[in-house]
Structure 1
Amino acid sequence: MKEIFEWDRVLFNEMPVAFLLEVMLRSTVMFTFLLIALRITGKRGVKQLSIFEIVIIISLGSAAGDPMFYEDVGIIPALVVFSTVIALYRSVTWLTGKNTWFEKLIEGKTVCLIHNGRFSITEFAKESLAQDEFFSELRVKSIEHLGQVRNAYLEPSGEVSVFFFKDEDVKYGLPLLPELYNKKSKSISKDGYHACSFCGHTEEHQAGTAICPVCEKDEWVTAINNLRLA
């Protein structure tokens, strides 16, 4: 029968001291795996916290939780996990400050998603970000159409930074309001400015059909400028 405060069991759980090396290896492997997994999920999955911060929280939380509840998990191995994660944290932080390439690898980089009122299709396709979700982010910033937006960036934190055209430079653009955007169609019903519903390219068209010269899609929506239909 086990006794309370049997210190060899409490501290080491009857494991040999050499097992601590295995604990360090396990910690390193899991830390790296978490970092890669969260990096793959994309910026939006860890909005407001950097990927690196999420990894630290998960790693330390797991290390702290198990020895609190399970008697077969010794305190000393858990402390080794803490020490290893903190050492990895300091090492990665030092490397990100010294090496720009490593910093981009760990934290990601700022991506331009809208340029001159039009989607940067290549960059947008790389991000795990749905169009509806992105439209929602822009509407929260009181943006009614892409003609107002000079540039929009997806930051490493997952936040969207927006830079606007001056009032006199605002042009016709793809509407972001659902009641207008959902009227998109392959058939252009009347002459005027229309925006490609896929990339936001805007140009003047006559009634009929047309192919977007930028993305080669054929679905259009009536462009707006300050909520005035074209």
Structure 2
Amino acid sequence: MKKEAIKLSDIKRILIGEAPFEFLLEVLLRTGIIYCVLLLTVRLLGKRMSGQLTITELAVMILMGAIVSAPMELPERGIMQGFAILILILLLHQGVTWLEVKFKKVELVTQGIPKMLVADGVIQTAVLAHVQISKDQLFAVLRGQAIYNLGKVKRVYLETCGKFTIYKFKASKAGLSVLPPEEGRDNTMQQVKEGNESCSVCGYTREVKEAVASCPNCFNNSWEWAIL
């Protein structure tokens, strides 16, 4: 479109565009057909597409958004092109899934492996940095599971689909508080464990009488009282 043809007073162009008014009815028909085909395609892709998405499934969802827009909106494009591409995406996805089942290396390349973020109440700082998750994000997940200190956490895994899996100790143990700093240490959800302190970076907990100044896990020198 030429620059001279663009006018703010051209309400018809702004609301309807260059296509004739009748094309609006065609858009409704196209959208209905594409919507039904898209539902069928997602159904054939498998139940995981409606749950937690893996990397390959997320890629498929992004592609489908781009695929269906043109056949619905552009008058010079037929909907059969959209059908053909959706079928191709379905075949590609099924092929990759079959390869993942047959060959472990393919699954490792496409999906990756779960990462352990917390082990026995101690944050694995190197892993946390590798997966690009902040300590605040991890603490938010733990608070959502009614966990108020790291001492209660046996393991935290980041699954390949992005979901967190948490295992707890049965008995209460002292550890680093996961509550926001402004919450303070005088609330009813936690109490100070006398004689124990936790590394403020990774949560490693020790007795105060230990002579070593730095944390043996992350070599940090900042400590705070352990919380029950």
Query: Of 87, 96, 101, which aligns to 1:83?
Result: 87
Per-residue CA shift, 1:29-60, capped at 9, x if unaligned?
A: xxxxxxxxxxxxxxxxxx93222222222222
1:124 match: secondary structure: helix
Q: Which of 172, 187, 202 does residue 199 from structure 1 map onto? A: 202
The alpha carbon displacement at 1:150 in A equals 1.0
Alignment partner, residue 157 of structure 1: 161
Residues 118 and 200 in structure 1, CA contact (< 8 A), matched pair in contact too: yes
Displacement of 1:180 in angstroms is 7.0
Unaligned runs of 5+ in 1: 3-46, 184-190, 226-230
Measured at CA, do residues 220 and 208 of structure 1 come closer, stay the same or move farther in structure 2, by a change above 3 Å?
Answer: same
Using the size of structure 1 for normalisation, the TM-score is 0.66
Verify: 1:64 aligned to 2:68, yes or no.
yes
Q: Quick one: higher RCO (CA 8 Å, sep 6+), 1 or 2?
A: 1
**Offset at residue 108 of structure 1 (A):** 2.3
Determine if the alignment matches structure 1 residue 216 to structure 2 residue 219. yes
8 Å CA contact retained: 1:64, 1:78 = yes
Aligned equivalents of 1:140 and 1:133: distance in 2? 11
What residue in structure 1 maps to residue 40 of structure 2? none
Give secondary structure in 2 for the equivalent of 1:114.
Answer: strand
CA contact 1:120–1:199 (8 Å) conserved in 2 = yes
Q: Report the Cα distance in structure 2 between the residues aligned to 1:216 and 1:90, rounded to whole angstroms.
A: 47
Runs of at least 4 residues of structure 1 off by over 6 A? 180-183
| Identical residues among aligned pairs (%) | 32
Structure 1: how far apart are the matches of 2:167 and 2:60? 33
| Pairing 1:138-149 to 2, within 5 Å after superposition | 138-149=142-153
TM-align CA RMSD: 2.8
Q: What residue number does 2:177 align with?
A: 175
SS in 2 for 1:223: strand
Distance change >3 Å, CA 180–CA 69, structure 1 → 2: closer
